[in-house]
Amino acid sequence: MEVNNNEVELDCIGALCPTPIIQLGKAIRDLPAGATIVLKADDPATQSDISAWARMTGNSVAAIAMHTYRVTKR
């Protein structure tokens, strides 16, 4: 995990779900509202899992490139 200002990069390439979502939950927990995480994850299940996670937590998520998502903490 790499931190740059209020943006965290979380590299979960090669990890199978639910690991990327678990790591995302841990990483976002201590960040301030408005902070962003760029999640890189190539497991095909990540797309549907991260969408469901965002709905359940109220955080926003946007796909910004193939296998790359920007999550903003509410």
Give catalytic status of residue 12 as yes or no: no
> What residue has token string 């955080």?
59
Contacts for 67 with CB less than 8 Å, ≥ 6 apart:
13, 40, 41, 42, 46
Q: Which of 17, 31, 35, 38 is catalytic?
A: 17
Catalytic center residues:
17
